[in-house]
Amino acid sequence: MTQHNPAQQSTSWDSRAAAYDKENATTSDVIARQALSIMGVTPGQKILDVAAGPGSFSILAAQAGADVLAVDFSQGMADYLRDKTRRLGVKNLRVEVMDGQDLKLEDDTFDIAFSALGIMLFPDRAAGMREFCRVLKTGGLGAIVAFTGLEGHGIQSLVMSALKRAKPDFEPAGQDPRYSLTNPDVFRAEMLTAGFSSVNMFTVRVVRSFESPETLWPRFAETSPAMATVFNDLTDSQRQAFGDAFVEQVRSKQGDGPYGAENELRIAVGVK
């Protein structure tokens, strides 16, 4: 698959599974529960989770009695989810390494498909959406989750501001794929083109809490391939200036805590 951005490279995620799961557990859990509620998951349904990552949705769906297949293009993520599944004693959940743009699965197989913050990253998003719809049964439901924009992505907004202060000439390298589905009309149109007969949109806001800005910012590179690339391009003094600016922004608004940042996400649910 053509790869243009660190977040679109499977090896970028292989070593980040545990850290990503820990840092994003609250957001992932809220989104998964909202999607489960909207789609009405019931025992015995066949469910596919595309770009499953640490598997919040997959685990909850399996615990609800569904028969779940979780796929991710990262071997490290898949291994992490298999181990997590064993540790939690979750049944009815298989994990496979698979490219969401070319699913090695039969047509009309699943009752429900889900993808949180995954399809938005695909280099060939149209192929990913077609595959996502293709494997659903007629009348099946497909839910895709994406950010509504940088302004609704609390932590990232602070990151961009701090980067500008640390390195005034900083410019992102190309379009950030995390914000490829921010326009709801485009989002809906792409799903309809992929084969869905109708699409409804739901907006969800989640507070991501953290213990302190001082301990949060050094971990960005552990969970984000894009931030790892940015940090590698900064000098030591610029990296420290970034941290100082990030801490100053958070503390100027939230003082001595508690600390949190809001994330706004959109769940698009299509009917095949």
pLDDT digits (tens, 9 = 90+) for 113-154: 999 999 999 999 999 999 999 999 999 999 999 999 888 888
Residue 165 within a domain: no
Residue 220 within a domain: no
Print the domain residue range for 35.
6-149+174-208+261-271
Mean predicted confidence (pLDDT) in 60-87: 96
Residue 197 within a domain: yes
Backbone phi and psi for residue 247, each to the nearest 5 degrees, phi listed first: -60, -45
pLDDT exceeds cutoff 60 at 1: no
Q: How many domains does the chain have?
A: 1
The CATH number of the domain holding residue 34 is 3.40.50.150
Q: What is the pLDDT of residue 222?
A: 87
Structure tokens at 224: 């984000």
Rounded to 10 degrees, what is the CA torsion of 95, 17, 209, 183?
-70
Residue 48 within a domain: yes
Please report the DSSP string for 157-179 in residue order.
Answer: HHHHHHHHHH-TT---SS--GGG
pLDDT exceeds cutoff 50 at 2: no
Q: What is the pLDDT of residue 3?
A: 46
Q: What is the mean pLDDT of the chain?
A: 92
Structure tokens at 252: 């100027």
Residue 196 within a domain: yes
pTM: 0.92
Q: Pick 26 or 190 by higher pLDDT.
A: 190
β-bridge mates for residue 71, sequence order: 50, 96
Residue 92 within a domain: yes
Residue 251 within a domain: no
Q: What is the pLDDT of residue 7?
A: 61
Residue 98 within a domain: yes
Q: Express each pLDDT in 209-259 by its tens digit.
A: 999 999 999 998 888 888 888 888 899 999 999 999 999 999 999 999 999
Q: Express each pLDDT in 249-260 by its tens digit.
A: 999 999 999 999
Q: What is the pLDDT of residue 153?
A: 85
Q: What is the pLDDT of residue 173?
A: 66
